Amino acid sequence: MHSELDALDQKLSSLVELTQRLRAENLQLRQEVASALSQQRKSQDKVEAAAQRLEKLISQLPEDAQ
C-alpha cells in the first residue's frame, strides 16, 4: 500500500511539473504568435504604402509611356 501511494505521489508530481511546463510553453507560444501577427501587420502596411506610392507614380507617367 505504501509503495502504491509513493507511485501515485510520483505520478502526481510528474503531472504537476508537466502542467507547469506546458503552461509556460503555451504562454511563450502565445507571445510568439502575437509578435508574428504584429510583424505581419507592419509588413502589410508597408506593402500597402508601397503600392499606393507606385499607383501615384504610374498615374503621373505621360499617357504614351503607359
Quick one: pLDDT at residue 50?
Answer: 98
pLDDT at 1: 86
pLDDT at residue 66 is higher than 60: no
Provide φ and ψ at 65, rounded to 5°. Answer: -85, -20
Tens digits of per-residue pLDDT, 3-61?
999 999 999 999 999 999 999 999 999 999 999 999 999 999 999 999 999 999 999 99
Q: What is the C-alpha to C-alpha distance for residues 57 and 24, in angstroms, rounded to an integer?
A: 50
Alpha helices in 1-66 (DSSP H): 2-60
**How crowded is the C-beta side of 30, counted as CA atoms within 13 Å?**
6
Question: The pTM is what?
Answer: 0.69
Residues 6 and 4: their CA atoms lie apart, in Å, by: 5
Cell of 27: 504562454
